[in-house]
């Protein structure tokens, strides 16, 4: 196997346990290595002891003959930097540090951790931790791990990375997952979750990746790793904690309010095929399903389902309505054949009620074959009953195992009673690439995740190359205005200079100019206060629409100015904007710069209730045209754009082009531009046009 950067950490040939003694964590590390049968050298390092756990101690790292791949630092925080320096002088390439007392403790610990990280960089040592419980690699028979290992630990295809020590323990103790590697990342002073996931993507023993994340320190690497995992057909399943919606406090733009940190992470998952789950149960069941399916992932959600309970039929129909699983009608041929096999005048449906086949295993098996062979079925879900002694459940499990031998289509076994499936049968089903799931919402949701991932690994078109040409001097001047926010006139000017269509408009400072502008633009017009201090002008009565005559315009000008002076006397009024009225579907579009992930592009249903409706789609820039089109198609209100109830069909190509232009602009904008908000962006059969806009710059 070719050497990789983290091999010294994940599959070391020799491990020194610095600070090991019979009564401390070092002894547990050595016991864990012995338990797994680590094939390499194990060297306790402690000048005060002759041996630990039967292994002779070296007085120092320098005294150890030969090379050392990895060092376990079983020492306190105050001694860790010196131990790391000694390891660096010895040429050690990797280390695990368990000690607490670093950044997690506050300002003093932050400084100590910075010194620790600098020592690692100086010696080019790959370090896990500090404040972690270490690494277990059952496939490599090594465990630089602080806790005692559970009995019977066997290697499997699931690689796990946890930023929480308790989460790592929970995954290792679970009897439902077989792990290739488990990493407790700790404070991530040197290596972070994305580095470990990158290793697992390339690891031939790992087919499924799981992660428990509190934050992402290197978002660009994380995105690249997620993209590579999808391309390799390796699902990345993530629990991301801290999911409560929290809009960016520094912005007043709709885009910033809609693009909370949790929403942006959801967008990243959607864009890169990451499977986000809510808790450990979902993570373990989903990883188990992917493990069992192996290479036989369902190619679509078209599912054929069989049960022996008439009452369960309705429940299954309800459950699949909440997931990506679809129960389509079977073909007429299948209907006729099933009716003949069952020999009773009952409706044939999907799900099929095969009740009454008890004691007739050949009839039940024939029903399975007919459903499986139906051309409208890409996945077979066999639903097992709950019964008093488990006999019927066992018969259904046996029939499902036999079906696997007769079909190449994916098969899932769903049970109403987990206790009714004998452990031996469960193991046999999973070994036969048949996941065992709950015949409830969680089971069908798990199937839906497998189906969505199978679709996500389809080849994607080449991304649209971002425009990297420098911004024009006029745009640069506008963006460097002294105020944090640009007024509407300046914001529209930025968009126009970047190639986004904007509504005809004029900035005026008296009623005569307003009337002249309206005459030039053409009636009807909108009259709006122009102030960087009034991002939501309608809140103070500073907008008048559908002005159709010169007196209307003059009156609207006076009313708008008076309302600003009455309701927002401290607002700097830069004039009044007279703009053409446009009709069509009101959308919202824009850019917001997320503190962690960078520029995010947003499109959704707009208007004054944009934040209430909250029908938006987001992607991280840069975007391809197919990305932009998928964003539009994913909106709940997408039907409005396709000529719903006699409305004109929106020019979708023009809308796609605008979203891609925003993506290109997001890449080239100065870093202090926090958000660009277009609300509304009017879409019609004639194209799209920005009617109102707001550019906000990050304070400071």
Is 57 a member of any domain?
A: yes
75 pLDDT more than 80 = yes
Weakest-pLDDT range from 107-121, 508-522, 670-684: 670-684
Asked if residue 592 and residue 572 are part of one domain, the reply reads no
Asked if residue 662 and residue 544 are part of one domain, the reply reads no
Asked if residue 596 and residue 574 are part of one domain, the reply reads no
Q: How confident is the model at residue 700 (pLDDT cuts 50, 70, 90)?
A: very low
Residue ending a domain, choose from 516, 545, 580: 580
How are the residues of the chain apportioned to helix, strand and coil, as percentages rounded to the nearest 5?
Answer: 40, 20, 40
Q: Whose structure tokens read 């990342």?
A: 185
Predicted local confidence at residue 461, as pLDDT = 53
Strands 352-353 and 525-529: unpaired
Weakest-pLDDT range from 274-278, 299-303, 523-527, 648-652: 648-652
Q: Quick one: which of 587, 608, 611 has its CA closest to 681?
A: 587
Asked if residue 24 and residue 167 are part of one domain, the reply reads yes
Instruction: Return the CATH number at 561.
Output: 3.30.1490.20
Asked if residue 359 and residue 448 are part of one domain, the reply reads yes
Weakest-pLDDT range from 15-29, 50-64, 78-92, 349-363: 349-363
Is 31 a member of any domain?
A: yes
Asked if residue 400 and residue 523 are part of one domain, the reply reads no
Asked if residue 230 and residue 304 are part of one domain, the reply reads no
Weakest-pLDDT range from 422-431, 462-471, 513-522, 669-678: 462-471
Predicted local confidence at residue 424, as pLDDT = 87
Residue ending a domain, choose from 201, 234, 267: 234
- Interval 123-148: pLDDT, tens: 999 999 999 999 999 999 999 999 99
420 pLDDT more than 60 = yes
Q: How far is CA 621 from the centre of its chain?
A: 15
Average pLDDT, the chain: 89
Q: How confident is the model at residue 465 (pLDDT cuts 50, 70, 90)?
A: low
Is 138 a member of any domain?
A: yes
Do residues 374 and 304 lie in contact, with contact meaning Cβ atoms separated by under 8 Å? yes
- Interval 640-682: pLDDT, tens: 888 766 677 899 999 999 999 999 999 988 888 889 999 999 9
Which tokens sit at 635?
A: 């909106």
Predicted local confidence at residue 387, as pLDDT = 63
Predicted local confidence at residue 251, as pLDDT = 37
- Report which secondary-structure segment, H or E, holds 486: strand 485-486
Q: Please state the rounded mean pLDDT for residues 448-476.
A: 72
Asked if residue 666 and residue 567 are part of one domain, the reply reads no
Is 256 a member of any domain?
A: no
636 secondary structure, DSSP code = T
506 pLDDT more than 80 = yes
Which tokens sit at 63?
A: 């005294």
Is 475 a member of any domain?
A: no
DSSP H stretches of helix in 421-483: 423-431, 441-456, 473-479
DSSP H stretches of helix in 343-411: 361-373, 391-404
Q: How confident is the model at residue 440 (pLDDT cuts 50, 70, 90)?
A: confident
Predicted local confidence at residue 234, as pLDDT = 97
Q: Quick one: which of 503, 679, 514, 688 has its CA closest to 580?
A: 503
- Quote the domain boundaries for residue 92: 7-234
575 pLDDT more than 70 = yes
Asked if residue 314 and residue 172 are part of one domain, the reply reads no
Three-state DSSP class for 17?
A: strand
Predicted local confidence at residue 245, as pLDDT = 46
When comparing pLDDT for 677 and 261, which is higher? 677
Weakest-pLDDT range from 63-77, 89-103, 327-341, 468-482: 468-482
Asked if residue 331 and residue 315 are part of one domain, the reply reads yes
Is 411 a member of any domain?
A: yes
- Interval 52-70: pLDDT, tens: 999 999 999 999 999 999 9
For residue 583, give every residue at least 6 positions away whose Cβ sits within 8 Å of its Cβ, in sequence order, or none: 682, 684
458 pLDDT more than 70 = no
Predicted local confidence at residue 246, as pLDDT = 43
DSSP H stretches of helix in 547-624: 550-567, 610-613
Predicted local confidence at residue 668, as pLDDT = 87
Distance of alpha carbon 387 from alpha carbon 361, whole angstroms: 17
485 pLDDT more than 50 = yes
Percent of residues, the chain, with pLDDT higher than 90: 71
Asked if residue 179 and residue 106 are part of one domain, the reply reads yes
- Interval 542-574: pLDDT, tens: 999 999 999 999 999 999 999 999 999 999 999
- Interval 230-243: pLDDT, tens: 999 999 999 998 75
Distance of alpha carbon 323 from alpha carbon 319, whole angstroms: 7
498 secondary structure, DSSP code = T
Overall number of domains in the chain: 4
Q: Please state the rounded mean pLDDT for residues 298-313.
A: 87
108 pLDDT more than 80 = yes
Is 267 a member of any domain?
A: no
Burial readout 232-247 (b: 16 or more C-beta within 10 A, e: otherwise): eebbbbbbbeeeeeeb
Asked if residue 72 and residue 204 are part of one domain, the reply reads yes
């Amino acid at each position: 196997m070719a050497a990789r950067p983290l091999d010294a950490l994940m599959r070391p040939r020799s491990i020194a346990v610095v600070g090991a003694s019979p009564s401390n964590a070092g002894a547990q590390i050595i016991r864990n290595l012995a338990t797994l049968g680590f094939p390499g050298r194990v060297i306790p390092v402690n000048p005060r002891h002759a041996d630990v756990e039967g292994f002779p101690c070296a007085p120092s790292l320098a005294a150890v003959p030969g090379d050392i791949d990895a060092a376990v630092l079983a020492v306190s925080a105050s001694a860790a930097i010196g131990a790391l320096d000694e390891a660096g002088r010895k040429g050690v390439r990797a280390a695990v540090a368990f000690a607490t007392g670093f950044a997690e403790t506050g300002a003093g610990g932050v400084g100590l951790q910075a010194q620790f990280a600098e020592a690692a960089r100086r010696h080019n040592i790959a370090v896990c931790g500090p404040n972690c419980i270490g690494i277990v690699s059952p496939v490599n028979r090594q465990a630089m791990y602080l806790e005692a290992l559970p009995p019977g630990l066997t290697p499997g295809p699931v690689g796990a990375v946890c930023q929480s020590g308790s989460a790592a323990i929970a995954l290792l103790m679970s009897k439902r997952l077989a792990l290739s590697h488990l990493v407790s990342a700790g404070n991530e002073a040197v290596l972070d979750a994305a580095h470990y996931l990158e290793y697992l993507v390339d690891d031939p023993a790992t087919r499924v990746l799981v992660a428990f994340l509190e934050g992402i320190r290197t978002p660009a690497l994380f995105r690249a790793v997620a993209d590579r995992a999808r391309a390799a057909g390796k699902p990345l399943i993530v629990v991301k904690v801290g999911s409560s919606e929290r809009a960016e406090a520094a912005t007043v733009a709709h885009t910033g309010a809609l693009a909370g940190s949790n929403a942006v992470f959801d967008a990243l998952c959607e864009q890169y095929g990451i499977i986000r789950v809510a808790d450990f149960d979902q993570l373990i069941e989903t990883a188990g399903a992917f493990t069992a399916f192996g290479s036989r992932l369902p190619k679509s959600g078209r599912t054929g389902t069989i049960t022996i309970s008439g009452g369960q039929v309705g429940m299954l129909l309800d459950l699949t309505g909440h997931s990506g699983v679809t129960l389509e009608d079977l073909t007429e041929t299948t209907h006729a054949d099933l009716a003949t096999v069952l020999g009773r005048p009952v409706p044939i449906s999907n799900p099929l009620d095969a009740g009454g086949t008890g004691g007739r295993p050949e009839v039940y098996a024939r029903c399975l074959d007919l459903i499986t062979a139906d051309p409208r079925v890409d996945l077979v879900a066999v639903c097992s009953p709950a019964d008093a002694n488990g006999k019927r459940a066992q018969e259904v499990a046996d029939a499902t195992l036999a079906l696997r031998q007769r079909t190449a289509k994916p098969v899932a076994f769903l049970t109403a009673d987990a206790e009714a499936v004998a452990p031996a049968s469960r193991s046999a089903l999973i070994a036969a690439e048949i996941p065992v799931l709950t015949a409830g919402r969680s089971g069908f949701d798990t199937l839906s995740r497998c189906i969505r991932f199978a679709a996500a690994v389809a080849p994607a078109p080449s991304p649209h190359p971002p425009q990297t040409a420098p911004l024009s001097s006029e745009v640069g001047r506008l963006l460097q205005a002294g105020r944090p926010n640009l007024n509407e006139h300046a914001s529209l000017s930025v968009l126009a200079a970047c190639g986004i269509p904007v509504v005809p408009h004029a900035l005026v400072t008296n009623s005569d100019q307003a009337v002249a502008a309206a005459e030039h633009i053409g009636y009807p017009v909108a009259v709006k206060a122009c102030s960087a201090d009034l991002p939501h002008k309608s809140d103070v009565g500073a907008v008048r629409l559908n002005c159709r005559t010169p007196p209307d315009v003059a009156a609207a000008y006076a009313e708008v100015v008076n309302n600003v002076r009455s309701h927002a006397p401290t607002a700097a009024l830069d004039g009044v904007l007279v703009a053409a009225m446009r009709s069509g579907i009101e959308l919202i579009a824009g850019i917001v710069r997320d503190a962690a992930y960078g520029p995010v592009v947003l499109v959704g249903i707009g208007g004054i209730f944009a934040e209430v409706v909250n029908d938006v789609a987001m992607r991280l820039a840069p975007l391809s045209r197919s990305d932009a089109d998928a964003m539009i198609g994913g909106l709940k209100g997408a039907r409005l754009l396709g000529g719903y109830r006699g409305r004109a069909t929106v020019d979708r190509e023009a809308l796609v082009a605008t979203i891609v232009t925003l993506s290109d602009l997001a890449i080239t904008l100065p870093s202090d531009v926090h958000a660009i908000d277009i609300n509304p962006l009017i879409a019609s059969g004639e194209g799209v046009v920005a009617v109102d806009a707001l550019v906000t710059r990050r304070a400071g």
